Amino acid sequence: MKRIPLLAFAAATSVCIIASMSAPAGGAEDEASPIFGVRIPTGYRQWSMIAVSHEAGQLNELRGILGNPVAMKAFVDGTLPFPDGTIIAKVAWKELSSVGDDAALGSMQAYVPGAPTTVQIMVKDSSKYAETGGWGFGRFIGGKPTDEAQHETCFPCHQANAKDHDFVFTRYAP
Ligand code: HEC
Residue 160, ligand 1, Cβ within 6 A: no
Residue 90, ligand 1, Cβ within 6 A: yes
Protein residue with least CA distance to atom 32, ligand 1: 120
- Selected residue with higher pLDDT from 86 and 9: 86
CA of 154 to the centre of ligand 1 (A): 7
**Residue 137: per-residue pLDDT:** 98
CA of 137 to the centre of ligand 1 (A): 9
Exposed, middle or buried, 43 (CB in 10 Å: 0-12/13-18/19+)?
A: exposed
Residue 140's CB is within 10 A of a number of other CB atoms, namely 18
* Least reliable range by pLDDT among 4-8, 55-59, 66-70, 72-76: 4-8
Mutation probe of ligand 1 site: the residue of 47, 61, 119, 158 with most atoms within 8 A of C-beta: 158
**Residue 30: per-residue pLDDT:** 59
Binning pLDDT at 50, 70 and 90, where does residue 133 land?
very high
* CA–CA separation, 119 and 127 (whole Å): 24
Dump pLDDT digits (tens) for 153-166. 999 999 998 889 99
Protein residue with least CA distance to atom 23, ligand 1: 90
Per-residue pLDDT at 20 exceeds 60: no
